[in-house]
Structure 1
Amino acid sequence: MGSLDISIILLYFALIAGVGVLGAKRATNSEEYAVAGRNLNFPMYLGCMAALMIGGASTLGTAKLGYQFGLSGIWMVTSIGIGVICLGIFLSKKILSLKVLTISEMLEERFSKETRLVSALVSTLYTLMLTVAQMIGLGSLLSVWLGWNLPLCIIVSAGVVFLYTMLGGMWSVTMTDIVQFVIMTIGIFFIMLPTSLSKAGGWAAVQASVPPAYLDLANIGGDKVFQYLILFTLGLMVGQDIWQRLFTARNLKISRQGAIWAGIYAILYAVALSIIGMCAFVLLPNIDDPQNTFAEMAVNFLPPGILGIILASIASAIMSTASGTIIACSTLISNDIIKRFFIPNMSEKKYLRVSRLTTLAIGVFSIVCAIWIQDILGALDVAYAVLSGALFFPIVFGLFWKRITARAAFYSIIASTAVILGSLWVLGITATEPILYGLATSLITIVLLSYMDSSSKKPQRNDTDESKKIQVL
């Protein structure tokens, strides 16, 4: 990288930090800090939701899949888009009527405080793992781009994200996400995609140059498509980071339409990245590590200055996802564990202080984990599997089926989590079966126990009274 590109990236980080600090002025109470006062209009809400959904793994991973499988590389991010569309269509009305801050808070209102606690722990694990993964990804990219050592890059990049998230909460996250959404969109749709197609000779030339299977949406394999749909579609529908963005919408119409259009944006994003990967297959057929597909295309075919903008767009994708998972993790710990079980009567001022200190603690812990582990993709798969398998049915049934009992929901989460972790231990973290076993266990447990609890509550028949009725008749 040249000095111009490095300067653009560093200036971009400074811009994001400045915008985030400005957002801190609006975070004056718990709702402003956690859900931006539930007051986002459609453009702001759409930008924030889309920026949260698409991270560095989505961007770099989809380009890699496009390089390896062609158009069927869309399925990972498309599954995410489908999940958000389903959330908007089927769940947004129920969710917004609750006026809660977290999924776990909803589960307590519907079931019990024990269900709230166990679900908060599961969701915290998921958001924390996702945060650490984003920190590793962002630090790794900066290390390659700037030539600095990885721990230093993790500290610098993570420090910027945690600074503005800690100070302003969701308002800082919202303001920075708008900038990041614009940079992502320009970088991918208006620079990288047209450049890739132009260098490859156009779409017709790409079609003629790649294997015929690259034009088949099923080329990646039906089992892999199914795995993505189960893992990401269900996971996005019950993820605290996604729900928390849903809570920021001003009204139901914005919430629903914004989620649908954000899902459509994700699908278009997936198509663009898969095509970029296919162009790389034509132009650079001997890339040693397909994970570097996007970076190789950028470095080889973009001029100085433009390269810096594109790399900033990748950083934007990671930072927007990271800030969303940070504020989600902080809200879960502050609202569902500390406030609910340890300091129940804290004032708004104290809640803000606790939230900021919690965010700071999450930041320090995540940075230490990122520097220590440096590879958390496997743990991320575990977190998604537990999230989807353990919480999907208790949340969805809790919203739509009144017969579900508190005991059934609680033991459903416990049993399915144990089955998923045990299956992952036996079959490996890349296996699809554990999440299916977890979903089956969750469904059977919650339905069976609910029916048992309902039956035990039915009044006993009085045989004496019944015989008297018969005699009278």
Structure 2
Amino acid sequence: MNSTTAWIIAVVFAIVFLSVAWTVRGKAGKNFAAYAVGGATLPLFLVMFTDLSTIMGAGNFVGEATNGFEVGYNQLAFVLGEQGSKIAFALIFAGFAGRFAYKTLGEMMHDLILRDKVSRIIIGILMLSLMIAYIGGQGLGMGLLFHQFTGVNPTYIILFFTALFIAWTYMGGMHAVARVEFLIGMLVVLLGLVYYGSVFSLVHFSPAYLNHRLAAVGASSLTKFKFDPQTITAFVTGLLGVMTAQIYWQRCFAAKNGKTARTGMIIAGSIAVIFVAATAVVGMVAKALNPVLSPSLAMPWLMSHEVPVSITVAVFALVLIAANGAAASNLNSAAVILINDFFKVLSPEMSDRSMLRWAKLMTVVIGAFGALAAMYASNIIALFSEAYTLLGGSVVPVLIVGLLWKMDYSKRFEEGFRNSRVSAWGARVGLVLGAVLAVSVNIFVGFGAAVVATIVVSLFTRGSTTEADRQALGSVPVES
């Protein structure tokens, strides 16, 4: 495939994405809720495919192949943690979140657990780190892919696609994101199967033959799965980090009900586990065929040298549209976090029209930060992993303690009423201490410290629940 074909594909899809965003701009511009969560009306087919498209971006198609090239089967530990967490999220949180009409996880934690503006802002800051990492990962993936086929400096490609991400997210919000991702999700499944089949045919669909080829080039270490502390850390980092990804909570809030949110995420997560694991193995195939290759070019090299041109074109289109879908999802989510958990908290009287206007402006600002992250990151998955560590050691433990440590265990959580013993200071200390220790030591230390600090500090400080809340809780139905 030559550079002209690559640019034609890019331009065609750019026109399609922008056209869809232009078509639904009226719906997205009605109010902030429409822009943020599509009015909480998305049906199963949209929830499922927007979940899948959000998961399967350029990071998973290009970044996982890079790590498979370097790490081998041990990369599957991170894959199973990161992608399996979507299924765990669906079983634990999706149905719960789908009952509510919040716009962000921070808003939900504020209303049901904390009632503390400072904690809500801290949560927003921490969650933004993952959104920006995701956006940067998509830009970096596209930069590496285009560089392989066109020779253009990856920085220019990153800037081009970031501008595209921004434009159609700015116009259409969640309505555009969900509808474009319905198309993207279907193409991911169809073209992904074609690509994996083509690559694995190079090693005769045989793990034994792949292992033999790797041993022949001096890379037999890649064929051994090591159950060691590093492997366990990789699994836990992926598992916990994703639990607080705004993109998945936002899709649950956008679903028409809890069952729709849970079912959509289970299906999407199951497909993702298989596809992302296969992508890591793709990197191992590249290692077997070209052991001196730069790891970051594992997938692009296979596409340009080892598979038929028709497959190359199809998969190039696949990665391009997947990157656009994932980046737009994260742009929208990051903008919603900024407005909902910063602007609105600091300025409670802000009108809905102002929130919508600022959300669009922040889409542009965050996109710029995402481009910077892409240009300065050396590895896509490393970029994700750092953000997962930060969130997994801070927001996740406070969320879990807050939901499990109720004031009244006979009552379920309902909007408008706080039913948790976690205090404002307990949350603040737990969030900050967990984040610092997770990054500076490891995720286990951060998680444990956050749990202990949240409980101990809460025991010695007073929660913000009012007597009115306690009285209102008396009218809430008992959990089934």
* Normalised-by-shorter TM-score class: 0.7 to 0.9
Q: Percent identity?
A: 21
Return the offset for 1:278: 4.2
Partner of residue 416, structure 2: none
Residues 390-425 of structure 1: per-residue CA shift (max 9 Å, x gap): 11111122223223222211211122223334x2xx
- The counterpart of 1:294, out of the listed 290, 299, 303, is 299
Return the offset for 1:170: 0.9
Mapped pair 1:415 → 2:396: no
Check 1:277–1:214 CA distance in 2 against 1; reply closer, same or farther (3 A cut): farther
Return the offset for 1:370: 4.2
Distance, in Å, in 1 between the alignment partners of 2:373 and 2:201 is: 42
- The counterpart of 2:159, out of the listed 145, 155, 159, is 155
Q: Which moved more, 1:167-176 or 1:289-298?
A: 289-298
Check 1:118–1:210 CA distance in 2 against 1; reply closer, same or farther (3 A cut): same
Conservation of the 8 A alpha-carbon contact between 1:334 and 1:354: yes
Mapped pair 1:76 → 2:81: no
Distance, in Å, in 2 between the alignment partners of 1:93 and 1:401 is: 19
Residues 126-170 of structure 1: per-residue CA shift (max 9 Å, x gap): 322332333233233223322223332122111111101111111
Distance, in Å, in 1 between the alignment partners of 2:70 and 2:390 is: 28
Q: Which moved more, 1:300-309 or 1:44-53?
A: 300-309
Q: Which moved more, 1:237-246 or 1:312-321?
A: 312-321
Distance, in Å, in 2 between the alignment partners of 1:174 and 1:151 is: 28
Return the offset for 1:376: 6.8
Conservation of the 8 A alpha-carbon contact between 2:97 and 2:258: no
Partner of residue 11, structure 2: 10
Distance, in Å, in 2 between the alignment partners of 1:31 and 1:145 is: 41
Mapped pair 1:248 → 2:248: no
Conservation of the 8 A alpha-carbon contact between 2:55 and 2:326: yes
Q: Which structure 1 segments of 5+ residues have no match?
A: 424-432, 458-473
- The counterpart of 1:128, out of the listed 132, 144, 150, is 132
Partner of residue 468, structure 2: none
Which amino acid in structure 1 is aligned with residue 245 of structure 2?
Answer: G
Partner of residue 190, structure 2: 186
Which amino acid in structure 2 is aligned with residue 286 of structure 1?
Answer: P
Conservation of the 8 A alpha-carbon contact between 1:107 and 1:115: no
Distance, in Å, in 1 between the alignment partners of 2:26 and 2:221 is: 50
Check 1:449–1:149 CA distance in 2 against 1; reply closer, same or farther (3 A cut): same
Partner of residue 196, structure 1: 199
Partner of residue 21, structure 1: 22
Partner of residue 401, structure 2: 397
* C-alpha RMSD of the superposition: 2.8
Mapped pair 1:436 → 2:444: yes
Return the offset for 1:354: 1.5
SS in structure 1 at match of 2:309 = coil
Conservation of the 8 A alpha-carbon contact between 2:66 and 2:299: yes
Q: Which structure 2 segments of 5+ residues have no match?
A: 407-420, 466-480
- The counterpart of 2:225, out of the listed 219, 235, 247, is 219
For residues 83-94 of structure 1, the aligned pairs below 5 Å read 83-94=85-96
The structure having more radius of gyration, on CA atoms, is 1
Conservation of the 8 A alpha-carbon contact between 1:80 and 1:263: no
For residues 72-471 of structure 1, the aligned pairs below 5 Å read 72-109=74-111, 110-111=113-114, 112-189=116-193, 191-203=194-206, 206=209, 209-210=212-213, 219-282=225-288, 284-342=289-347, 344-368=348-372, 370-371=374-375, 373=376, 375=378, 380-402=384-406, 403-421=421-439, 423=440, 433-453=441-461
Return the offset for 1:52: 1.1
Distance, in Å, in 2 between the alignment partners of 1:254 and 1:380 is: 28
Q: Which moved more, 1:123-132 or 1:207-216?
A: 207-216
Distance, in Å, in 1 between the alignment partners of 2:123 and 2:233 is: 23
Return the offset for 1:349: 2.4
Conservation of the 8 A alpha-carbon contact between 2:145 and 2:300: no
Partner of residue 411, structure 2: none
Conservation of the 8 A alpha-carbon contact between 2:81 and 2:235: yes
Check 1:141–1:199 CA distance in 2 against 1; reply closer, same or farther (3 A cut): closer
Partner of residue 461, structure 1: none
Check 1:29–1:179 CA distance in 2 against 1; reply closer, same or farther (3 A cut): same
Distance, in Å, in 2 between the alignment partners of 1:247 and 1:346 is: 22
Which amino acid in structure 1 is aligned with residue 393 of structure 2?
Answer: G
Distance, in Å, in 2 between the alignment partners of 1:321 and 1:263 is: 15
Check 1:23–1:140 CA distance in 2 against 1; reply closer, same or farther (3 A cut): farther
Q: Which moved more, 1:411-420 or 1:377-386?
A: 377-386
Partner of residue 466, structure 1: none
Conservation of the 8 A alpha-carbon contact between 1:72 and 1:215: no
